[in-house]
Amino acid sequence: MIRIYIARQRYDAWLVADRLNQAGIRAHVFNQHASSIVGDVPCDHVAQPQVWIEREIDRERAQIVLRDIEAAGHRADSVACASCGEESPGNFDLCWKCGATL
């Protein structure tokens, strides 16, 4: 197992793990409930939620997925849905109104 991502919040770790799993990269979230020990241990190493992948051969693809996630978070413009025409924020993957892929 290889640690690929340290999240600030539990939901960030799950979003990353889900995206990696969708890309065919087996990913797991660890330490999702460890926030209660912050202050007793260094929070940046032990108590933060972490995403780990199973295989070393997936590391490069996982890093590409992580870069794509980060780039999508910085998109500010909106996107028009091809199915219903509704505007959605640029960092959405699915239309908020009809659920179609953007």
Does the residue 69 lie in any domain? Answer: yes
Does the residue 54 lie in any domain? Answer: yes
pTM equals: 0.66
Domain with 28, as residue range(s), is: 2-75
Does the residue 18 lie in any domain? Answer: yes
Nearest alpha-carbon partner for 26 in 45, 54, 46: 54
pLDDT tens digit sequence for 23-50? 999 999 998 776 665 555 555 566 789 9
CB atoms within 10 A of CB 17: 25
pLDDT tens digit sequence for 55-101? 999 999 999 999 988 887 776 688 899 999 999 888 788 898 999 98
CB 31 within 8 A of CB 49: yes
Does the residue 90 lie in any domain? Answer: no
Does the residue 88 lie in any domain? Answer: no
Does the residue 30 lie in any domain? Answer: yes
The total domain count for the chain is: 1
Does the residue 45 lie in any domain? Answer: yes
